[in-house]
């Protein structure tokens, strides 16, 4: 539905299977339980990893489109649509349009809607104040436009032709003196005297404008046709014609075409404010992503901006949220992690349960709404639970997770253990993956006091594969250290079958910190943590407690 309001449902950066699948499922729930005036759409805040891509492919679901920034954009402002105006329109018509619509800036577009120039009320006023009797010819004004501006009719000559080589003057003197001031190609404003008409033709005028609807004799018409002179008859008097005729100038003569300050619908508003301040224009043209000029915005439009509306799933930490989350309006949060530091301007629906996976919460919400779960969605949610609970081996796993996964597996017609092996193998595969891709596929930043640290994780059922991953990651971790204020970096190489993790690390004081947290001695920037498989429930709390003890 065109113009339908959208709400974005989005997980954390470096999204995992739970983050993506829960966003897709919750969009389905919301769209099936609301009025239809709002469209709920799943989005992702980062690159999808191989495990998640395998799951999406397995159940025939497309990955959500990327949304890396939820700041307000030009398209979120009240863009003022402009009348369709082309460069051939007379100034008078443009002036009337601007007055009727209460606008001071008029974009000028070609037949495809592409911006060609810009005209303002000030430009028009200045041009008319500075115009002389050569302006009409310099502007190469079409006779038809002159006739339209003067509410006139063309009785001889080519109305599609152009006045372009002479000056404009009033034939008010005696015919005997006309040759003193009429030159070849001039446009002469005349009254009803036939001898004046003939004398102007004799002096090679290119156009005669006859005032007060005066009759033009056949003799004059015959000479005009022979000389290919245009004759225009207007109901206006001589003074009105002289005052008005320059308003027939085409906009192409006056419009600005160089150094135009334009904005695009996809531009973020925080990046255009300085441009507006430096260029004190009343309004700025807006260009769509298809290259069409769709209207204008001004500084006052900042007052009525529509913030993007979002629902967060599988996180509630600002450091893990999509960029510019503070500029968006958060409507809901669905999560299963510890309480984070995201703040909202108004109360929101916040559902946070101590289960192993957001997918489990989604399963509960389907049941509460009495909605049938399709096999595709069931497969996604079952995969999310298997992934987040490491096939029920994580200490975060609850009876609710196991029951939900079992029910979803029946709907999706999958066997959990064999499916889990395929899924984890896809997620830990090194094929065609760089060290950076492996490192960031499931990486999160955390803050404890003044310390910022990052933790990545890969889980596998194959010890040899984890060993190959370790070899690729150790050299790369050094580059992440110190970036964006990160003081230490950890990576969990989790063996699902053995229910243990080898933790490799790089950073300040990590050896002492890990000894404090787990009572183990590090060797070659690595420690073995038997029984530790959960980043959320086992590693992060222990690290944060140790940091408080050491740095407080």
pLDDT in tens, 55-107: 999 999 999 999 999 989 999 888 888 888 999 999 999 999 998 888 889 99
pLDDT of residue 1: 41
- % the chain with pLDDT above 90: 66
Alpha helix segments (H runs only) across 279-415: 358-368, 375-388, 399-412
Beta-strand pair 5-10/38-43: parallel
Q: What is the DSSP letter of 49?
A: P
Q: Stretch 174-202: mean pLDDT, rounded?
A: 90
> Which residues 6+ apart lie within 8 Å of 79 measured at CB?
265, 286, 294, 295, 296, 297, 301
Q: Report d(CA 385, CA 342) in Å as an integer.
A: 25
Residue 551: which pLDDT band, with cuts at 50, 70 and 90? confident
Q: Report d(CA 191, CA 471) in Å as an integer.
A: 97
Rounded to two decimals, what is the model's pTM?
Answer: 0.68
Query: Which DSSP string do the residues of 2-53 spell out, in sequence order?
Result: TT-EEEEEE--SS--HHHHHHHHHHHHHHHHHS-SSEEEEEEBSSPPPHHHH
How many C-beta atoms lie closer than 10 Å to residue 549's C-beta? 11
Question: Token digits for 194?
Answer: 């036939």
Q: What is the DSSP letter of 188?
A: E
3-state secondary structure 494-510: EECCCCEEEEEEEECCH
> Which residues 6+ apart lie within 8 Å of 186 measured at CB?
166, 167, 168, 169, 203, 205, 206, 207
Question: Token digits for 87?
Answer: 């460069």
Contact of 285 with 305, CB cutoff 8 Å: no
Owner of token pair 């987040």? 388
Question: Token digits for 280?
Answer: 């004190």
Q: Which domains does the chain have, with CATH numbers?
A: 5-71+308-427 (3.90.1640.10), 76-129+253-304 (3.10.580.10), 132-248 (3.40.1390.20), 435-551 (3.10.310.20)
Taking only the tens place, the pLDDT of each residue in 388-419 is 999 999 999 999 999 999 999 999 999 999 99
What is the distance, to the nearest Å, from the Cα of residue 243 to the centroid of all Cα atoms in its chain?
Answer: 47
Q: Is 233 helix (H, G, I), strand (E, B) or coil?
A: strand
Q: Report d(CA 440, CA 419) in Å as an integer.
A: 24
As a whole number of Å, the CA-based R_g of the chain is: 37
Comparing CA positions, the residue from 388, 338, 341 lying closest to residue 362 is: 388
Q: Report d(CA 426, CA 466) in Å as an integer.
A: 13
Alpha helix segments (H runs only) across 80-120: 91-101
Question: Token digits for 189?
Answer: 């404003």
Q: Is the pLDDT of residue 214 over 80?
A: yes
Largest CA distance in the chain: 117
Instruction: Compute the half-sphere exposure of residue 439: CA atoms within 13 Å on the CB side of its CA.
Output: 21
Contact of 56 with 313, CB cutoff 8 Å: no
How many C-beta atoms lie closer than 10 Å to residue 209's C-beta? 26
Q: Is the pLDDT of residue 303 over 80?
A: no
Q: Is the pLDDT of residue 310 over 50?
A: yes
Taking only the tens place, the pLDDT of each residue in 17-26 is 999 999 999 9
Q: Report d(CA 552, CA 543) in Å as an integer.
A: 14
Q: Report d(CA 510, CA 309) in Å as an integer.
A: 40
Q: Is the pLDDT of residue 223 over 60?
A: yes
Beta-strand pair 443-448/451-460: antiparallel
Q: Report d(CA 517, CA 511) in Å as an integer.
A: 10
Taking only the tens place, the pLDDT of each residue in 341-395 is 888 888 999 999 999 999 999 999 999 999 999 999 999 999 999 999 999 999 9
> Which residues 6+ apart lie within 8 Å of 80 measured at CB?
103, 283, 295, 296, 297, 298, 301
Comparing CA positions, the residue from 262, 275, 248, 282 lying closest to residue 116 is: 262
Contact of 453 with 506, CB cutoff 8 Å: no
Q: Report d(CA 531, CA 548) in Å as an integer.
A: 24
Q: Is the pLDDT of residue 504 over 50?
A: yes
Q: Is the pLDDT of residue 187 over 90?
A: yes
Average per-residue pLDDT in the chain? 91
Q: Is the pLDDT of residue 2 over 60?
A: no
Taking only the tens place, the pLDDT of each residue in 422-476 is 998 888 776 677 888 888 888 888 888 888 899 999 988 888 889 988 988 988 8
């Amino acid at each position: 539905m065109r113009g339908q309001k959208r709400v974005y449902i989005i997980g954390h950066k470096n999204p995992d299977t739970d983050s993506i699948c829960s966003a897709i499922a919750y969009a389905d729930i919301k769209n099936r339980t609301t009025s239809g005036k709002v469209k709920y759409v799943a989005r992702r805040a980062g690159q999808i990893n191989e495990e998640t891509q395998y799951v999406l492919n397995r159940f025939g679901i497309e990955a959500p489109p990327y949304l890396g920034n939820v700041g307000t954009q030009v398209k979120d402002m009240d863009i003022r649509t402009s009348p369709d105006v082309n460069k051939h329109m007379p100034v008078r018509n443009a002036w009337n349009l601007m007055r009727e619509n209460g606008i001071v800036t008029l974009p000028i577009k070609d037949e495809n809607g592409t911006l060609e120039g810009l005209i303002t009320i000030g430009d028009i006023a200045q041009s008319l104040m500075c115009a002389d009797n050569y302006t009409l010819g310099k502007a190469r004004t079409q006779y038809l436009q002159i006739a339209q501006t003067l509410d006139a009719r063309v009785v001889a000559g080519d109305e599609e032709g152009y006045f372009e080589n002479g000056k404009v003057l009033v034939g008010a003197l005696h015919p005997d003196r006309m040759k003193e001031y009429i030159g070849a190609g001039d446009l002469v404003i005349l009254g009803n005297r036939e001898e004046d008409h003939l004398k102007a033709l004799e002096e090679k005028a290119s156009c005669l404008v006859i005032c007060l609807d005066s009759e033009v004799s056949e003799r004059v018409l015959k000479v005009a046709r022979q000389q290919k002179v245009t004759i225009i008859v207007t109901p206006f008097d001589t003074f009105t014609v002289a005052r008005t005729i320059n308003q027939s100038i085409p906009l192409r003569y006056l419009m600005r075409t160089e150094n135009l300050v334009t904005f695009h619908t996809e531009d973020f508003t925080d990046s255009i404010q300085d441009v507006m301040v430096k260029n004190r224009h009343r309004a700025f043209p807006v260009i769509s992503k298809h290259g069409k000029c769709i209207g204008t915005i001004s500084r006052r439009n900042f007052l009525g901006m529509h913030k993007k509306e979002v629902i967060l799933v599988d996180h509630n930490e600002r450091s893990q949220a999509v960029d510019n989350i503070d500029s968006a309006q958060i409507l809901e949060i669905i999560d299963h992690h510890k309480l984070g530091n995201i703040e909202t301007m108004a109360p929101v629906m916040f559902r946070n349960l101590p289960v192993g996976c957001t997918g489990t919460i989604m399963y509960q919400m389907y049941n509460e709404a009495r909605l049938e779960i399709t096999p595709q969605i069931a497969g996604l949610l079952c995969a999310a639970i298997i992934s987040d609970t490491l096939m029920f081996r994580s200490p975060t796993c609850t009876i609710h997770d196991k029951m939900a996964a079992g029910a979803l597996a029946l709907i999706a017609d999958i066997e959990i253990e064999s499916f889990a092996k395929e899924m984890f193998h896809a997620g830990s595969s090194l094929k065609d993956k760089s060290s950076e891709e492996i490192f960031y596929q499931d990486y999160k930043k955390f803050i404890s006091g003044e310390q910022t640290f990052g933790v990545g994780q890969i889980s596998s059922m194959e010890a040899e594969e984890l060993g190959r991953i370790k070899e690729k990651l150790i050299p790369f971790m050094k580059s992440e250290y110190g970036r964006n204020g990160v003081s230490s970096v950890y990576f969990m190489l989790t063996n699902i079958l053995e229910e243990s993790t080898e933790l490799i690390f790089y950073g300040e004081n990590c050896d002492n910190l890990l000894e404090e947290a787990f009572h183990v001695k590090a060797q070659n920037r690595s420690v073995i943590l038997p029984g530790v498989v959960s980043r959320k429930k086992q590693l992060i709390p222990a690290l944060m407690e140790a940091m408080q003890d050491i740095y407080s």
